[in-house]
Amino acid sequence: MFGKIGAPEILLVLVVLVMLFGAKRLPGMARSLGQSLRILKSETKAMRDRDPDEADTAAAAASTPEIVEGTPLSAATASAPKTVSGSY
């Protein structure tokens, strides 16, 4: 069903993308996608190249939750301000 993607299907997807985002925004979106993939690739390579002993201690530290004594969870989360930023 989904194994046979040909030229008409790819053309249809491209037409829909141009209609949704506009021709001026597509190159910028493709550029940012490429930068994100480059960063992901470099980070995964850095993780593979990291020392195995260092990776074990980092994974153990990341999986251990931080415990704060004397502060109830509801009080700690209620005092944190909630902000929304960004443009839509």
- Please answer whether residues 45 and 53 qualify as being in contact, where contact means their C-beta atoms are separated by less than 8 angstroms: no
- The helix, strand and coil proportions of the chain, stated in percent and rounded to the nearest 5, come to 65, 0, 35
pLDDT digits (tens, 9 = 90+) for 8-64: 999 999 899 999 989 899 899 999 999 999 999 999 999 999 866 665 666 666 666
Query: Two tokens at 18?
Result: 């141009």
Burial of 23 per CB tally in 10 Å (0-12, 13-18, 19+): exposed
pTM value is 0.44
pLDDT digits (tens, 9 = 90+) for 5-19: 899 999 999 899 999
d(CA 33, CA 4): 25
